Structure 1
Amino acid sequence: MTSTFSQAADAFFVDFFRHYPVHATEAGNHEHDDRWPDLTDAGSAERVAWLTNQRAQLDAMDGLSREEEIDRRVLRATIDELIFEEEELDEASWSPITYSYLLGGGLFALLSREFAPLEERLASAAGRMEGIAAALEQARANLTSGRGRAVAGFHTEKTIATVPGVADLCRTATEMAADVDTDLRTRVEAAAGTAVEAVDAFVAWLRDELLASAGGDFRLGRELYERKFHHALKATITPAELERRAAAAYDEVRAEMLRLAKDGWSTWIGDEPMPDDPDTLTRRALDAIAVEHPTADELLDFCREEHRRIEAFIRERDLIGLAEEPLQIIWTPPFLRAFGGAMLIPPGPLDKGLDSFFAITPPPEDWTDDQVESMLREYNARSLRILTIHEAVPGHYLQLAWSNRCDSLVRAVFGSGVFAEGWAVYVTQVMMDVGYGADDPALLLAHWKYYLRAITNTLMDIRIHTGTMTEADAMEMMVDGGFQERSEATEKWNRARLSSTQLCSYF
């Protein structure tokens, strides 16, 4: 048995990275880049046994320093969450999109960042592509095992739409191998061909066989949701108390938006009389500023330019230390396009200095012109300025760049999602307070609408998964109460059905 906490933590990560090789890649440990986790029942049982043993060893330690005790608590909470995911949540048996995220994430992390020479990364990608057929065969076994919850139909539909993105990554690997040596290129091409065939067959099976019998509910139910809420958010508050606080904030923020709409009425609307109905008044003001937006093709360039403006503003006022790590603003990879919006994909703490990706999801190709316009009105010029603060600087990108420099590997690898989202929401308010966009009062109205979205996210997540909130109920709250465009509300309804608890972390 290891004699010190530091040795125990080092030993923990050696085995953690072995048991969870995709997590290892994403953290920046590249010893297991050529394989997938064991998706069998035996693999799950082995992980749970190891986690249980690690938990007992941590519990037995005493005489720890303050820093070590913090790390121990983080490790214990992480272990408890991982055991919960394996034994109780068991998404592998009822949520097919788990496999889209796993396989897509495992390949994207190898192909997108230059942490090693191209040949080395392609060899690892070939190893993973060679394992995709077996991984998807085990996915079929898990999804037809009959254990626990029934397979969720909506999750199946979204997997059919997104898992082809894994095949796209395999084709990308082939393109990247065009100029490497013949043996490696031949291996990559063969592995990609087999993997693409396996993905295509999996999609056909999902569509033609599994979907018809996938009658499971996307709702977790109160008991399972409350347990996940505790583990995933490391929460000391209950969902019921968070819901109460969010409901109170909902009224407060809407009142502030009404005040701003009245103040800016003459500027944005002109001489038109104000409506008597407060919601109509606020919506009318928001509609007036929503017409100023880039085209869909201009979204990335708009956010790149806004990012430069924000950094210049921060430097001029010496508000916070900026990061030197590269940031790319890109379209969201197809395997992650189950719902719209944007995200920050950071490098792991062991890949310090590599690229972060601020990813924006484009409108789906099958959307009508009206749907695209609805999305662009939601992500109008002011909203995109707020989004860039949230996702890039001084939001997620900056916070995670500094987090990766943490001396504690435990805290760097197992960071707090609640802190990350809370930071991004907090610093957006700070930017407003210090005068960013002070010459444009409409930006403040857009900010409060964005924060109102965080509130409705929370209310919706809790009420969907612990109750019976319907699509009509959710749309009414988001569109009528939250002043969202219908396209945004529809995508958020999709997200709430595919995920649980994470939407609460913004509030």
Structure 2
Amino acid sequence: MKIIISAGVLLSLSIFNTFATPEDDVFKKTAHDYIEQYLQANPEDATELGDHRFDGQLTDYSAEARAKELATQKEFREKLNALDGSRLTGANNVDFRILKENIDYKIFQAEELKEAEWNPLVYMQSLANSLYLLVARDFAPPEKRIPSLRQRMEAIPLVIAQAKANLQHPPRVHTETAIEQTQGAINLVREGLALLLDRAPQMKTELAPLQERTAAALEDYKKWLHNDLLPRSDGNFRLGAEKFRKKLRFALASDLSMEEIMKRAQADLQKTQTAIYETALPLYKRYFPNVDDKTLTDKHKVTAAVLDKLAEQHPDDATVVGYAQKVVGEATDFVKSHNLVTIPDTPLDVIAMPEFKRGVAIAYCESPGPLERNGRTFFAVAPTPKDWSKERKESFFREYNNYEI
């Protein structure tokens, strides 16, 4: 039956490709035009995807640009609504629905979320990541990348001015995180660009004054975040039920209600807690051999005690990246030796997370964009910020201990 179904699908695709409709041609042009305008309006995303035509540009966050972008999204939605999706063949039928969903999400973000007005983290894509992308990925010789680096640094003061004009009453935690990440951006400009600039000494010398001006502009922005924005950062980080419900639907691409998702999550949580307890119980008996039987039935106490015991073995800022490299190597060797799945030959670089990206997660995996050539995959692991107290660092690494990593 499986073979028959597969053959039927292949035959259908062959028929679809042979008898493409006029709607297919219209959709392909519309989709191409949409992607093209999106990359131009979001040059940092283009760089990340591996399209380097706009490497010297930054996003325009002005109210006028955002209004124009919203109008563009609505214009493309009208073009798609005018198409009969049922007449599209093959992959176009699927891409049509994906693109419509994506455009609806963009409109929701622009009309209802309006993050540029309350989330200072939005601007880090331009203030730091735009530069990092040109340095971290060796997609072209330094002589070709450094001019784009110059152009983007020259544009940073305008982005800062737009951020100051747009941001009103962010949630306090967003502003606090932005302050820490902006310090990371300053360090990137002053120190992190050397990875690229050292390979072109003459251009490095010529760029030095702009580097310092850019760092100074970011220093001023950090002061503004702390002295001006932070005192009025009284916004609620919660979206509210209505907006959350809409965003959840877009994020999951599913019509499941948040109530149904919560119901499933709670059921899964109970099963997971039971499984964790059953795993922790023999360890608890080993760590605490003289415990009474009543305590052994206390699932919460047993689990918490074992987790607390395991947390004693943890890395620190000096060892966390090296330990992650060791764990990745061991996991890779295990998978290969047991022939569980095929391991790609593409190298995986375990690196220290750039400082301007810290404060959100302990680690992330960053694959090269689909258009990038010779791209490497980065597994970035976060040491703690330099200004954290000893107690806060200890708490952080007890949570992200050897077993958690």
Q: Please, what TM-score do these two structures have when normalized by structure 1?
A: 0.70
- The answer as to whether partners of 1:345 and 1:357 remain within 8 angstroms in 2 is yes
- Offset at 1:57? 2.2
Aligned to 2:228, the other structure's residue is in SS state: helix
- The answer as to whether partners of 2:128 and 2:185 remain within 8 angstroms in 1 is yes
Which residue does the alignment assign to 1:308?
A: 329
Letter of the 1:138 counterpart:
Q
Which residue does the alignment assign to 1:122?
A: 146
Letter of the 2:346 counterpart:
E
Which residue does the alignment assign to 2:386?
A: 365
Aligned to 1:349, the other structure's residue is in SS state: coil
Mark the structure with the bigger radius of gyration.
2
Deviations for 1:243-301, whole angstroms, at most 9, x for unmatched residues?
A: 12212222221122222222343444434445253211222222333333344422222
2:247 pairs with one of 228, 242, 257: 228
Runs of 4+ residues over 4 Å off in structure 1: none
Q: Does 1:375 align with 2:396?
A: yes
Which residue does the alignment assign to 2:109?
A: 85
1:218 pairs with one of 237, 250, 253: 237
Aligned to 1:38, the other structure's residue is in SS state: coil
- Offset at 1:131? 0.1
Measured in 2, the distance between the counterparts of 1:257 and 1:124 equals 51
Which residue does the alignment assign to 2:155?
A: 131
Aligned to 1:329, the other structure's residue is in SS state: strand
Q: Does 1:173 align with 2:193?
A: yes
- Offset at 1:173? 2.4
- Offset at 1:333? 0.9
Deviations for 1:62-108, whole angstroms, at most 9, x for unmatched residues?
A: 42123111111111111111122122111111111211243222111
Deviations for 1:163-182, whole angstroms, at most 9, x for unmatched residues?
A: 12222222232563245263
- The answer as to whether partners of 2:135 and 2:195 remain within 8 angstroms in 1 is no
- Offset at 1:187? 4.7
- Offset at 1:46? 1.8
Aligned to 2:25, the other structure's residue is in SS state: coil
Deviations for 1:109-141, whole angstroms, at most 9, x for unmatched residues?
A: 111110111121111111110000011111111
Q: Which runs of 5+ in 1 are unaligned?
A: 145-149, 385-507
Measured in 2, the distance between the counterparts of 1:331 and 1:255 equals 35
- The answer as to whether partners of 1:326 and 1:353 remain within 8 angstroms in 2 is no
- Offset at 1:24? 0.7
CA-based RMSD of the aligned residues comes to: 2.3
Which residue does the alignment assign to 1:35?
A: 57
- Offset at 1:379? 2.4
- Offset at 1:188? 2.5
TM-aligned CA distance change 1:287 to 1:70, over 3 Å: same
Q: Does 1:337 align with 2:358?
A: yes
- The answer as to whether partners of 1:293 and 1:377 remain within 8 angstroms in 2 is yes
Which residue does the alignment assign to 2:284?
A: 265
Measured in 1, the distance between the counterparts of 2:154 and 2:133 equals 17
Which residue does the alignment assign to 1:56?
A: 78
Measured in 2, the distance between the counterparts of 1:186 and 1:81 equals 45
- The answer as to whether partners of 1:130 and 1:192 remain within 8 angstroms in 2 is no
Measured in 2, the distance between the counterparts of 1:175 and 1:291 equals 36
Give the number of aligned pairs.
378
TM-aligned CA distance change 1:220 to 1:199, over 3 Å: same
Measured in 2, the distance between the counterparts of 1:6 and 1:340 equals 38
Letter of the 2:244 counterpart:
Y
- The answer as to whether partners of 1:25 and 1:109 remain within 8 angstroms in 2 is yes
Letter of the 2:321 counterpart:
L
Which residue does the alignment assign to 1:256?
A: 275
> Identity rate of aligned residues, in percent?
29
Q: Does 1:238 align with 2:260?
A: no
Measured in 1, the distance between the counterparts of 2:374 and 2:28 equals 25
Q: Which runs of 5+ in 2 are unaligned?
A: 1-22
Which residue does the alignment assign to 1:278?
A: 299
TM-aligned CA distance change 1:378 to 1:175, over 3 Å: closer
Letter of the 1:257 counterpart:
I
Q: Please, what TM-score do these two structures have when normalized by structure 2?
A: 0.86
- The answer as to whether partners of 1:17 and 1:23 remain within 8 angstroms in 2 is yes
Aligned to 1:383, the other structure's residue is in SS state: coil
TM-aligned CA distance change 1:292 to 1:207, over 3 Å: closer
Measured in 2, the distance between the counterparts of 1:105 and 1:40 equals 19
Q: Does 1:107 align with 2:131?
A: yes
Q: Does 1:25 align with 2:44?
A: no
- Offset at 1:307? 1.5
Q: Does 1:156 align with 2:175?
A: yes
TM-aligned CA distance change 1:158 to 1:236, over 3 Å: same
- The answer as to whether partners of 1:27 and 1:350 remain within 8 angstroms in 2 is yes
- Offset at 1:321? 2.0
Measured in 2, the distance between the counterparts of 1:331 and 1:100 equals 18
